[in-house]
Structure 1
Amino acid sequence: MENQLIPDEIIMNKIYYIRGQKVMLDKDLAELYGTETKKLKQQVNRNLNRFPKHYMFELTKEENEILRSQNLNSGKGEHSKYLPFVFSEHGILMLSNVLKSESAVRVSIRIIDVFVKLREVYAEQTEVWLAIEKIKSKLDNQDKNMEIVFRYLDELIDKKHQPQQRKRIGYKPDDV
């Protein structure tokens, strides 16, 4: 696939959150790079020293089952006897060096751009949530203050409706 033809949405739909990281599957990357998953994995295996665990790791059977159950479009060849590799953003950068083609470099840059956009969107969302929480806090304080004001008003109204005995003014005693 030419990188200009890959919409952000297609790349975003191929990004998963596994073990606390945003990652992409080997088969999805192979498709984007225009190669076979088998060839991609061969190149990675030949260059394992370039892929520490936070760049690339193999899914466990359980993780793979969960991922397959979440994907409704399980197609032919997805029931491989080999567990998939997943690559973090840094692993994807390293893949472009290992695959050594102009296309792989362009596609990797495109994918990294999408990762950066996702980070920016997440940061913006976080700022919005923080602002909302700040507003909620102010509203809670205002609610408490309004509650106090209404309590005082109720007390004043109660006092107003209570019959009050007035003291007489003058020289005559009250009991007359």
Structure 2
Amino acid sequence: MKKKEEKLLIPDEIITNKIYLIRNQKVMLDSHLAELYQVETKRLKEQVKRNLNRFPEDFMFELTKNEYENLRSQFATSSWGGSRYLPLVFTEQGVAMLSSVLNSDRAIAVNIKIIRIFTKMRALLADNLSLRLEIEEIKKKVTNQSKNIELVFSYLDELINKKENKTERIKIGYKKDKG
């Protein structure tokens, strides 16, 4: 293991638990990123504001008051921390861009780890989607087979009913003498 990687012993689960789905995008909060980079949130925001042209809305956006309250209610803890400003959230591309404005070895190492986790999550979601499609296909086949089996049984029931309700037919043709 390289010297830089030795210092960065952040379990994947810690980063994964800091990724949220907001506005149908996977994002990370500025405070969580600052914690991972081991800088103050205020300093992270300063660097971002100095380089705003690098962060279009699909890279970073500010939460609305409603989104912020909704997110806070999910934590059910008071250790969220106080802030006068609404948090910024960063998409995967925004996190990648952060490495260009936070020029520290730790920021670069953390960003690499975060990007790898985003990539793993995307792969898991793709695998999950293909499994769901295959399951739906199997369900359709099973449903069709069930309908076909029901149809076969209904035909069998009809045949049985016809046989039971059948009266003895009079045989026609030549009759042979028994004598």
TM-score by length of 2: 0.90
Q: 8 Å contact 1:26–1:41 — kept in the other structure? A: yes
Partner of 1:38: 42
- State the percentage of identical aligned residues: 59
Corresponding residue SS for 1:80 = coil
**Structure 1: where are the runs of 5+ without partners?**
none
User: How many residues matched?
Assistant: 171
Cα deviation for residue 6 of structure 1 reads: 1.0
Q: What per-residue deviation string (whole Å, max 9, x for no partner) do you get for residues 116-157 of structure 1?
A: 000010000001100000000101110111111001000011
The letter for the 1-side match of 2:12 is: D
Partner of 2:78: 74
The letter for the 2-side match of 1:105 is: I
Q: 2:63 aligns with which of 55, 59, 66?
A: 59
Are residues 1:123 and 2:138 paired?
no
Work out the CA distance in 2 between the residues paired with 1:47 and 1:163: 91
Cα deviation for residue 168 of structure 1 reads: 2.9
Partner of 1:90: 93
Work out the CA distance in 1 between the residues paired with 2:158 and 2:30: 71
Partner of 2:9: 5
* Mapping of residues 93-112 of structure 1, within 5 Å: 93-112=96-115
Q: 8 Å contact 2:8–2:106 — kept in the other structure? A: no
Work out the CA distance in 2 between the residues paired with 1:89 and 1:30: 15
Are residues 1:18 and 2:22 paired?
yes
* Mapping of residues 142-161 of structure 1, within 5 Å: 142-161=145-164
Q: 1:28 aligns with which of 6, 27, 32?
A: 32
Work out the CA distance in 2 between the residues paired with 1:142 and 1:111: 46
RMSD: 1.7
Q: 8 Å contact 1:61–1:83 — kept in the other structure? A: yes
**Structure 2: where are the runs of 5+ without partners?**
none
Alpha-carbon distance change, 19 to 115 in structure 1, aligned in 2, over 3 angstroms: same
Work out the CA distance in 1 between the residues paired with 2:24 and 2:124: 18
Q: 8 Å contact 1:3–1:110 — kept in the other structure? A: no
Q: 8 Å contact 1:58–1:85 — kept in the other structure? A: yes
Corresponding residue SS for 1:74 = coil
Q: 8 Å contact 1:68–1:74 — kept in the other structure? A: no
Cα deviation for residue 3 of structure 1 reads: 6.6
Work out the CA distance in 1 between the residues paired with 2:18 and 2:136: 32
The letter for the 1-side match of 2:43 is: K
Work out the CA distance in 2 between the residues paired with 1:54 and 1:118: 19
